[in-house]
Each structure stands twice: as structure tokens, then as C-alpha cells.
Amino acid sequence: MLTIALPKGRMAQDALHWLTRAGWSPPAAVDDRQLVIPSQDGRLRYLLVKPMDAPVFVEQGAADMGIAGLDALRERAADVYEPMLLPFGHCRLAVAAPQDRPQRPLRLEISPRVATKYPRLAEQYFRSRGISAEFIVLNGSVELGPLVDMADLIVDIIQTGNTLRANRLVELRTIMPSQAVLMVNRASYRLHRESIQPLLQALRDVLSES
């Protein structure tokens, strides 16, 4: 039986919508305490995981397939097969700073303190620009960093921009655009190609119809 890792949180509803349309028979909801749920037709098994962990479950082979944001996939640097992007979860990974002192910390001579859930991508970004920075790794509420003077900048996901505005931050630079992506474990793809291919094709079909 194939196992699929589904991200909880803001991508969950769209993921369920598209998988339902493609006949993957996902669970009705993902905000359950139960973390392993069989598909309604009993053909598949779903794991409900934190969005940032979905690539890990797939890379390790605990799940044969899964959905994640490209941001999480690149941050985890997971080596998985990526057969298709999915039409939801659009956002961007960006550098942001307080409204009242936006430019100062991106100057080369200053080592900014950067609060982020994305230490790998943030480090890569600053290093490639020759800026040495100090990274403060958080799991959420990253926008608090500058507000409490723990950080000069943040590197975080921006979707609507509401969280930035509510916390008087402005976007300085986009690091990468992101959206949902389908992942397949490389070994599973070789071993279970006959089961996986029809699922991928069904998803491709509903995506191309819309």
C-alpha cells in the first residue's frame, strides 16, 4: 500500500481538494489528532505532517509520495523526484525589515542578525551576496524578531503580506517564489512505478482540465 505525506496547515485544504478531484480518496480533513489515516477506498495511507517535515518523510521513504512547498523542499535539501508543481500554496521567501529602518542592515559592512525558519536558504542568500550575517533560528512568529530587537531582519514566507503589515515590516528582497510541489521517493518510484504512474496521471489530468 502506498503512503502519502500530506502537509497540515495552510496548504491542507487545497491539497485535499486536488487529490479528491484526482481520485486519490484523501481523508476528509487533516486537522485531526489521528496522524495516520487510510484513504476512504483503502488503497492508500495518508500521513499528516508539519509542512516543513513533508520532504523528510518522502526522502526517507516513510512516505512514497507527498506534497510540500518548494520553500520547505529546498530548505530541507531533500533528494526526491519532483514530477509536478501544483496550483496552490503560492508565496515567496523574502527578506524583510522594520518599516522605519529598511535599508541599513543589507549594507555589506554591517552583519545583520536574521531571524528565520529557513536557516539554510537564508545563509545561502546572504553568503552569495558577500554579507556575513548571524542567524537566529525560530519555528514560528519570526516577525517578532525585529519587534523585540532580537533581530535586524527576517527571512520568511510572505503570502498575503498581512503578517508583515501587522508588524510594521516591509519586504526588501525576494529570495525565491514558492508553490506546492508533488514529491515522490526515488526508490519508490522505481519499485512501485505501476501503482504510482496512474496516480500521477490522474492528477495531471485534473490539473490540465482546470
Q: Kindly provide the residue ranges of all beta strands, DSSP E only, lying in the chain, ordered along the sequence.
A: 2-7, 36-38, 44-49, 65-69, 81-85, 91-98, 113-116, 134-137, 153-158, 169-178, 180-184
Q: Is 58 helix (H, G, I), strand (E, B) or coil?
A: helix
CB nearer ligand PRP, residue 123 or residue 171:
171
Q: Which is nearer to ligand PRP, 111 or 159 (CB)?
A: 159
Q: Cell numbers at residue 21, please?
A: 478531484
C-beta of 116: minimal distance to ligand PRP in Å?
A: 9
Considering only 54, 68, 96, 142, the residue that binds ligand PRP (CB under 6 A) is 142
Using CB under 6 A, which residues numbered 154 to 173 contact ligand PRP? 156-163
The CA R_g of the chain, rounded to the nearest whole Å, is 19
Q: Using the rule CB under 6 A, which residue among 141, 174, 197, 201 binds ligand PRP? A: 141
119 binds ligand PRP (CB under 6 A): no
Judged by CB under 6 A, does residue 92 bind ligand PRP?
A: no
Residue 85, CA distances (Å) to 100, 146, 195, 198 in order: 37, 33, 20, 17
Q: Are 125 and 75 in contact (CB under 8 A)?
A: no
Does 208 help bind ligand PRP (rule: CB under 6 A)? no
* Residue 7 Cβ vs ligand PRP, minimum distance, rounded to whole Å: 10
User: By the criterion CB under 6 A, which residues form the site for ligand PRP?
Assistant: 9-10, 140-143, 156-163
